[in-house]
Every structure is written in C-alpha cells, then in structure tokens.
Chain A
Amino acid sequence: MSKEIWELRLYIAGQTPKSVMALKNLTKYCREHLAGKYTIEIVDLLVNPRLAEGDQIFAIPTLVRKFPEPIRKIIGDLSNEEKVLVGLNIRPASVKKIHS
C-alpha cells in the first residue's frame, strides 16, 4: 500500500487562468496528501494536439489518474478539494498512514 505511486497527468491548453489554477490546486493537494508518492505529468495540447485522442480528452483542464487503476478523470480547475480527493481515491485514513 505504501509503495503505491499516484501517476497523474494534467492536460492543459496553454497557460490559461483555469489551467494555472488547476495545477496550483493539484500541487497543493498532492503535497498535503501524497507527499513523495506522486508524479505529475503536464501535457500541453497546444504543443502536442495528437495526444488528446489517446486519453479521450475533450475538456480542459482534465486531470487523469493513470495509476492506481481504474483510470479516473477529473475535469475543471480542481477548486473543490473534497471532490478531487474522492476522485483521486485519496482516503483520509490512508493519508494519515502515509504521513506517519
């Protein structure tokens, strides 16, 4: 359980306010709840448009949890912490264990 690494991918399209906000929020949640247990890959679709098809991206920003499976997608600027944590499957209980 403790060896699990959260593989996250954030799709953005340029440095829009929504994308910047999403990244800021995501980094904050990860530091708080997944310290040392996550990787964030940022994919800018303006640079790599062909990557949108693979993960079935249509909304921006979209956060994809590649691992742990199953794949989950969270779209929006991630402003609702509770929803993001549930979406990422970060349970408060396990979070405490990681910290201790």
Chain B
Amino acid sequence: MSQDKIKGLQKSKSGIDGLDEITGGGFPKGRPTLICGSAGCGKTLMGIQFLVRGIIDYNEPGVFMSFEESQKDLNQNVHSMGFDLNKMISQKKLRIDHIVIEKSEIEETGEYDLEGLFIRLNHAIDAIGAKRVVLDTIESLFGGLDNASILRSELRRLFQWLKAKGVTAIITGERGESSLTRQGLEEYVSDCVILLDFRVIDQIATRRLRIVKYRGSTHGTNEYPFLIDETGISVLPITSLKLEHKTSSEILSYGFDDLDKLFDKGGFFRGTSVLITGSAGTSKTTLSSYFALSSCRRNESTLYFSFEESPDQLVRNMMSVGINLKPFIKSKKLFIHSSRSSLQGLEMHLLVLHKLIKELKPRTVIIDPISSLVTVGNSSEVRAMLVRLMDILKVNLINALFTSLTHEKGNDYSDLTVDAVSSLADTWIRVSNDEMNNVRKRNLSIVKSRGMGHSNLVWEFTIDNKGIKIKKSA
C-alpha cells in the first residue's frame, strides 16, 4: 500500500465527457468513489456510463450491482442512449447483479454479516475479470434490514474489501437532509466524493456537479453544469481552460471589400472573435450574414446561432439585401440553429453549442444576438458563460462573431453583455443610426482591433438590395 502512494495516485478514465478534465484524469484507480445526489439527478446513469465506456473505450469489464432496478429495467432505461447492456453481458464484459431485499419475507435474529453480498460481488468480479464496479444504491440495505450497526460495520468492511480487491468503484447514495448521503456514507468512502444537483431557477432547470473532495489530487472546485441527452452525460468543464491557445496569422475577409479595407491587413485573423454592437435596426444581422457568407465561400463549415429569427426568416430577409444563403444551406456548409433564448438555461445553450461544434466542426460560429441570453441568467453567470464560450472557440481556432443589442443613446459600457464581451473580443465594430436634418444615417466605426491597425473614422454606410456600401467618413 505504502509503495502505491509513493508512485502517486493513479486515475481511471470516467468515460464521461468533461469530467476527467475536472478531476485531472478520472476517478481514483482501485478505490471507491461516492456519487451522491437527490432522486433523479443522474446517479445511476453516471454509474452505467462509467461501466459502458470502460468496456467500449478502455476494455475494462465491469460489474453493476443494483439494489433498485432490475437488469431489464436498466437495459430499457439506457437503451435510448445506444447502450446495449444485454450484448455486453453476453460478451462477458458486463455483469449485472440485482439484489432484491424483500423486507416482508425476511426475519432477523441474532448476529449476521453481509458475507453473501461479498461472495456475490467477488464471484461477479472474478467471472469476467472486472476492473470497474458500481453499487447502486447500497443504502437500500438500510431500508430492508433493521440492524443498522451491523450494516454500518459491514459497509466499512465492504469499502475496504473493494480497495483490497483493486477495483475502481462507484457507490451511489441518496442525498440526505443534513449530510451528503442519508446514512453518512461519505464517512466511509473518503477518497473521492462527487455531488450531483438538479435545480430549478426561474423555471429553468439546470443540472450541476461538484467535486466535494478528492483525496490526494487537485480538482476543479466549481459547480459544473452537466447535460443528459441521447449520448449520456456530458459535463462542461469550461472554466478549467487556460489561456494558451494557438494563434494564426492568416487573414480572412469580413465578406465585403468596403469593410475589409478599414483594417490595415484587409480583414481579420483566423480565430478572431468579433463583436458587433448597435441598437435595433442598425444592420447587425446583415453584417453577420456577410460574415457567414464569406466563410461559406471559403468552403468552410459555418454555424449560425439565431436567437431571434428562424432559419427561413433569416434566409428570406437576407435575400432582400442581396445575400443568398440558400445554396450554402443546401450544400450543408451553413447550419442555422434557431432557438428561443428562454427555452433553456444558459448552460444548456452553451452545451448545445458545444455539441454542435464537436459535431459539425465549424470554422466560423455566429451568435446573433448574444445579448438575448442575458435575459436567461444573472450577470455573473452570463459573463462566466461568455468567457467559457470564447474559450471553446479560441481553443478550436474558430472565427467567432457575436452581435449585441445596445440601447439607443445609452452608453455601451453600461450594457451588460457589452461589458462582458468587449474585453474578451479581439475586434469590436459599432454600428448606429443617427438622425440629422430629418435623415437617418447609418454609421459604422471600429472601436478596437487587436493585432492590427484600423481606421479610426466614423463611416457612413447605406444598405440597398445589393447589400452594404460604405460611403465616406461621416
């Protein structure tokens, strides 16, 4: 034992997207980990995913000891995620042992121990050479048996036995009122404790995960949002990203010459994040569409997040200014994802985005407008989310464009999203409508552009059915 410790803590990959980044490599290898949380927070699924991914990705067979659901139920529940437990069982990679405790047919008299449980577990582990074990939810024993002091000492023995057996184990526990688990399992399983939480704020539900403790290892200490969807659980560890992304000196076009010319290098660097701010009707979306068009013309995959217009509406409206996005949607170069910002929590939007980025591998991402997300969360949340989002995009060297709606005559800096994004964005373009002599004039100026010189004039521009034309400095 002492020699193992000198080697440093070995870890076992959890197989859960993002979790290994927070834990610095996974669950403690050969030790038990406690996952606790209230009903319906995803404990069982996390256990199953740990086993299934262990079997598929790391060739580590696993044993699932269920105190609640039968094999049939489990299989049905996870089938929608593409996990075929029966197949894995027949391949001798997985064993499910359902422990049924029928209180009504059990009588207790005198001393006993849980050796039967140990023998079953041992038999299951040895039969397939299991490296991973899940016990879900062992606290059910307390519901079925009366002698709590025997159970406690036996559980302590069980966790020591699991350690001695050298299997990486997950033990799930129901959240207690004053402690992490009802029976205080955290006292016995002290190597790694993960708390899952399912919370509803302003009618929007978010799942969160926190590592309460991880003995002998550094770990992320924040609450991390996680998502359960058709591929299982994914955690978003975004705040753990560091500022060490690569940069590119390749220059790309904004989509029309007039705008490119305002920058010394005639465009923007690949991987730049661009912010366009302006009040309503200042053609932010038109500028975004140019940006998308330019990306599509480079034959690069483009992802357009629209929080205000449906794909059809966007395409139709852009036709009126001479931007034809239709062929690119057909050729699958352009993907427009429309959803109402209030449909789900901020984190969910971010996760959807994250997944789409993984799936479509876009080189350009447009979010129009990012300010509508503010309605969903409070300011610190929004800012944290935007930082995460930018990080994801930067790390992948994706060109990003965000638009943000600001209020007329208001100061840009007082605006929440502008405040959050402006320091993160590399390039900031401001558009406005100014009334002069009974005429509304469209103006555009560049507030900043990291890494290259830019025009410091305010430019007047017009929009007609052929698009945007920048005329002269106003």
Contacts and interface: CB of A to CB of B under 8 A. Distances in A.
Interface string B84-98: 000000000000010
B122 A75 contact: no
Contacts of B115: 13, 16, 45, 59-60
Interface of B: 97, 99-102, 105-117, 119-120, 122-123, 141, 145
Given A45-B115, A58-B114, A60-B115, A76 B108 contact: yes
A74 interface: yes
Max chain A CB contacts within 10 Å: which of B106, B112, B141? B112
Contacts of A18: 110-113
B110 A80 contact: yes
A56 interface: yes
Residue of A16, A52, A58, A80 contacting most chain B CB atoms (<10 Å)? A58
Contact of A79 (B109, B113, B145): B109
Contacts of B97: 53
14 contacts: A13-B115, A52-B123, A53-B97, A58-B99, A58-B101, A58-B116, A59-B114, A60-B114, A60-B119, A75-B112, A79-B110, A80-B110, A83-B107, A86-B107
Interface of A: 11, 13, 16, 18, 21-22, 45-46, 49-50, 52-53, 56-62, 70-80, 83-84, 86-87
B278 to A, nearest CB: 68
A57 B119 CA distance: 10
Contacts, number: 98
Contacts of A75: 106-109, 112, 145
B107 A53 contact: no
B105 A78 contact: no
B110 A52 contact: no
B109 A78 contact: yes
A57 B123 CA distance: 13
A50 B113 contact: no
Nearest to A64: B105
A58 B111 contact: no
A70 B106 CA distance: 12
Contacts of B112: 18, 59-62, 75-77
Contacts of B123: 49-50, 52
Contacts of A61: 112
Contacts of A70: 105
Given A50-B123, A71-B105, A72-B105, A57 B116 contact: yes
B119 A49 contact: yes
A77 B110 contact: yes
Contacts of B108: 74-76, 83
Contact of A56 (B99, B113, B119): B99
Contact of B117 (A21, A58, A84): A58
Given A49-B119, A73-B105, A76-B109, A56 B100 contact: yes
A25 B293 CA distance: 86
Contacts of A57: 116, 120
A62 B120 CA distance: 14
